[in-house]
Amino acid sequence: MTARRVPIVEKILNANDQIAKENEELLNRARVYSLNIMASPGAGKTSLILQTIQQISSQLKLAVIKGDTAPVTIDADKVSECGILAVQINTGGECHLDAPMVKNALEQLPLNKLDLIIIENVGNLICPAAFKLGTNINIVVASIPEGDDKPYKYPNIYRGIDALILNKIDLLPYIDFNLNYFRKGIQALNPHSQFFNISCKTGEGIETWSLWLMKQVHNFKNKNE
Ligand code: MG
Ligand code: ZN
């Protein structure tokens, strides 16, 4: 019998999925709900996190894990200023988070005291999709200025997500963006995704999204009681 050559990439992904499973089990035991936020740079991940914190931090104890390709702490500092625990992951140039990085970050958090962990992935529409982190849900933040063709150009990131948040909806009157075309693209890839139109600038839609997120956390907590 000849040994099958396993491509290196496949091996790395399998190792990643194994640790993602460990992360998931660790979080389940501690009864902490988690979400992975993916987006291109500038779509508004950090703004969304800051707005969401305002809506839910009086009711849920949360922490933020934030990935960056360089050791800058601007986003993490913004979160810390709100009095929220934040762990910064410097990916050392990698353009995505992987499960081992998240595992290290989880070790720095008091999991038993938390209800929710929000993970801000590295701004990139390609490889974050290939690395499971072990979170309960995965979401993508898109934004009006990025254009309505993104689901057609970067399909992988939208496959299997639980929610799509379309940010900067206040810019819709000024930019040629076909909401139906965009939405059809997402639905073709992923008919089960929730869809939220928001504006971190005006606050539109933030409450609706936050209520949905809180409901997911409560359902998870009740299930794991
Ligand atoms: Mg950010
Ligand atoms: Zn990458």
Per-residue pLDDT tens, the chain, 225 aa: give them. 455 666 777 777 789 999 999 999 999 999 999 999 999 999 999 999 999 999 999 999 999 999 887 766 667 777 777 788 999 998 988 899 999 999 999 999 999 999 999 999 999 999 999 999 999 999 999 999 999 999 999 999 999 899 999 999 999 999 999 999 999 999 999 999 999 999 999 999 999 999 999 999 999 999 867
Q: Scanning the structure block, which residue is given the tokens 């104890």?
A: 61
pTM higher than 0.85 = yes
Do 97 and 41 meet the contact criterion of CB atoms below 8 Å apart? no
Ligand nearest to the Cα of 50, by number:
1
Residue 160 Cα to ligand 2 midpoint, Å, equals 18
Q: Tokens 């409901």 correspond to what residue?
A: 215
Confidence at residue 131, expressed as pLDDT on a 0 to 100 scale = 94
Cα 122 to Cα 129: distance, rounded to the nearest angstrom: 11
The predicted pLDDT at position 10 comes to: 72
Dist. CA 71 → ligand 1 center (Å)? 13
Distance 113 CA to ligand 2 centre (A): 31
CA of 94 to the centre of ligand 2 (A): 5
Give the position of tokens 């290290």: 104
Tell me, in angstroms, the distance from the centre of ligand 1 to residue 224's CA: 31
Kindly state the greatest CA–CA separation across the chain. Answer: 64
User: What's the CA gap between 69 and 71, in Å, rounded?
Assistant: 7
Q: Which ligand is nearest to the CA of 123?
A: 1
Q: Output the DSSP codes for 41-60.
A: TTSSHHHHHHHHHHHHTTTS
Q: Architecture of 4-223 per CATH?
A: 3-Layer(aba) Sandwich (3.40)
How many angstroms is it from 50 CA to the middle of ligand 1? 10
pLDDT of 83 reads 81
Compute, in angstroms, the gap from residue 106 CA to the centroid of ligand 1.
19
How far, in Å, is the centroid of ligand 2 from the Cα of 174?
32
Q: Ligand 2 centre from 119 Cα, in Å?
A: 16
